[in-house]
Structure 1
Amino acid sequence: MLSGPREQEYLILEILSEATTPLGAGAIRQALEDRDMILSEATVGRVLRELDHRGYTRKSGFQGRSISPKGAERLETLREERGHAVSANILLEELKSQGIEKILDVLVARRAIERETARLAARMATPEEIDRLRELLAQQEEALRKKESVAPFDAAFHREIARISRNAILAAAVDLIRQDVKLGPAFEYARKKAASTLGSDHRAIIDALAAHDEDRAEKAMVMHVENTLRDVQRYLDENPELRKEARR
């Protein structure tokens, strides 16, 4: 969540972007209440006047206001900032609840398990299964383009490789190690802060699986997990205050 005034701005612009007709202050106040933000109609009116002044909204006579093209761009910026703020909070919560070493241990365990699922998947994958992985990659890249979280597609990608391996024990291990759904967004945030290209690792894995090259698939998977481990460690090194917070 953003700071108070910026969260108000974000939610009002989001409400206007979803509306099919101009909205007045009263309707916006009710929509904000539905999103658990309580503001008076007078406060909503004040925020709207500020948004008008900045060119983010435009008045339609007595009908109310609608979002402007400039406002739509502003909404996308705030949406990205909000996503980063939420992910940063998730990472800090995970560090506090589990500890730094346990979080890093998850990645070490993933490296050991998923190198084997990648080898087996390279041996067993059918053309249809490769197409499914490419579809998941396309969905991930679309989410990146929209500045949305790719964590759900990342989890689905790795579970699909485990399924393709045809080894039920390894697939169960992958499921077990990915039970904490909050870790995915936390790792994603650390990788973004390290300016890593999130889709390229998955593309290299798919190419190796499609070629049925077991050694190459294993190396691509190990590199992918090690890239994540490196980025998380780098983020923690560059933000030593997180280590202090995690110990509290």
Structure 2
Amino acid sequence: MRKILQDKEIAVLESLKAAQGPMGSWNLVEKLEEKGYYISSATIGRILNSLEKRGYAKKDGNNGRIITQEGLYALSNNKIKNHINEQTQTLEQIISTTVLDDFIIVLQARKAIERETARLAAENITHEELSHIRKILDEQRERHAKGESIADCDIAFHKAIAKASRNKVLETLYMMLFSYGQQTSIFEYIRRQVRAVYMKSHTEIYEALKKHDAELAEKCMIGHIDSLIEDVTKYWDLFY
């Protein structure tokens, strides 16, 4: 059964939602004309029948039809999908070769700084800080499973490591580089387009920190940021 709502069906459902009571085909003709849709009563009748079969509308005796809870959900989901599509189009328009070049430059600088923050963090990190990072990874995994943005978790993960390094200069340098937008929705979009695997690198870094293995932590961080550079380069090659 077709789930995707067409524009005219959306207009009908929105009219039913806004109505104070049940509406029939003739009432909907006027309402849809106000929205710029000039549709015959017979066509609206067919649309109503289709919506009713899918559970989005139901009859209220001989008075007409009203929107159902399923219909309200369908309208809400449609708005969410439209918003996501608009955001995707905006991101595609914003991304350029200049942006990609800047990403690579900043990632190279991050590698120089974060390999050292990871090494120092492995030596100095406390049990409480490890627990905090574990919670960040758990939240990141949950958000990823739900298809939600994990940019905030990414920032929190790297900030926690920089703080655990006990080196205020390196921590400040990381915060300066983070402000360049490396962990924004744009970067997240780029990595999603190349189907990058994200959690693996973070988990490996966490395990190295947990072992207090400075050399391994540094190696894992280098590998992580190298993979980010590779993702940006791959996107560049695919789309530019």
Using the size of structure 1 for normalisation, the TM-score is 0.69
Provide the secondary structure at the position in 1 that maps to 2:69.
strand
Distance 1:120 1:148, change over 3 A: same
Task: Give the match for residue 223 of structure 1.
Answer: 223
The corresponding residue for 1:65 is 68
Distance 1:128 1:59 in 2: 56
Q: 3-state SS of the aligned residue for 1:208?
A: helix
**1-side partners of 2:142 and 2:217: how far apart?**
24
**Distance apart, 1:94 and its partner CA:** 4.8
Q: CA deviation at 1:89?
A: 2.9
Paired residue for 1:25?
Answer: 18
* Structure 2 residues not aligned, in runs of 5+: 1-5, 21-29, 38-43
For residue 243 of structure 1, what is the aligned residue in structure 2? none
- Name stretches of at least 5 consecutive residues in structure 1 with no aligned partner: 17-22, 28-39, 241-248
Mark the CA change 1:25 to 1:174 in structure 2 (over 3 Å): closer, same or farther: same
Q: In structure 2, what is the equivalent of residue 167 of structure 1?
A: 167
- List per-residue Cα deviations over 1:119-151 (Å, max 9, x = no partner): 111111111111111111111111111111111
2:91 matched residue in structure 1: 90
Larger-Rg structure:
2
> Relative to 1, partners in 2 of residues 1:81 and 1:63: Cα closer, same or farther, differing over 3 Å?
closer
After superposition, the Cα gap between the structure-2 partners of 1:51 and 1:130, relative to the gap in structure 1 and judged at 3 Å, is farther
What is the correspondence of 1:9-158 to structure 2 with a 5 Å cutoff? 24-26=17-19, 42=32, 43=35, 49=48, 52=51, 55=54, 57-59=56-58, 61=60, 64-67=67-70, 71=74, 75=77, 79=80, 83=84, 86-87=87-88, 89-90=90-91, 92-95=93-96, 98-158=98-158
Tell me: CA distance 1:183–1:207, structure 2 relative to 1, closer, same or farther (3 Å): closer
| Distance in structure 1 (CA, Å) of the matches to 2:186 and 2:147 | 15
Does the Cα contact within 8 Å between 2:122 and 2:214 map onto a contact in 1? yes
TM-score, normalised with respect to structure 2: 0.71
Following superposition, the deviation at residue 70 of structure 1 comes to 9.2
Query: How many residue pairs get matched?
Result: 209
SS for the counterpart of 1:180 is coil
Distance 2:49 2:217 in 1: 54
Instruction: Give the SS at the match of 1:24.
Output: helix
CA RMSD of aligned residues (A): 3.8
CA distance in 2, matches of 1:153, 1:99: 23
Q: Is the 8 A contact 1:80 1:147 kept in 2?
A: no
Distance 1:120 1:159 in 2: 13
Shift of 1:100: 3.2
Q: Is the 8 A contact 1:87 1:186 kept in 2?
A: no
Cα distance between partner residues in 2 of 1:51 and 1:179: 51
- How far residue 81 of structure 1 moved from its aligned partner, in angstroms, is 8.2
Q: 1:56, 1:70 within 8 Å by CA — same for their partners in 2?
A: no
CA distance in 2, matches of 1:79, 1:134: 31
Change in 2 beyond 3 A, CA 1:184/1:99:
closer
**CA–CA separation in structure 1 for the residues paired with 2:58 and 2:82:** 27
Contact 1:60 1:66 in 2 (8 A): no
**Structure 2 CA distance, aligned partners of 1:133 and 1:196?**
21
Native 8 Å contact 1:56 1:71 kept in 2? no
Cα distance per residue 1:133-180 (max 9 Å; x no partner): 111111111111111111111011111111111111111111111113
Tell me: CA distance 1:221–1:91, structure 2 relative to 1, closer, same or farther (3 Å): farther
Look up the SS of the partner of 1:212 in the other structure: coil
1:67 is paired with a residue whose SS is: helix
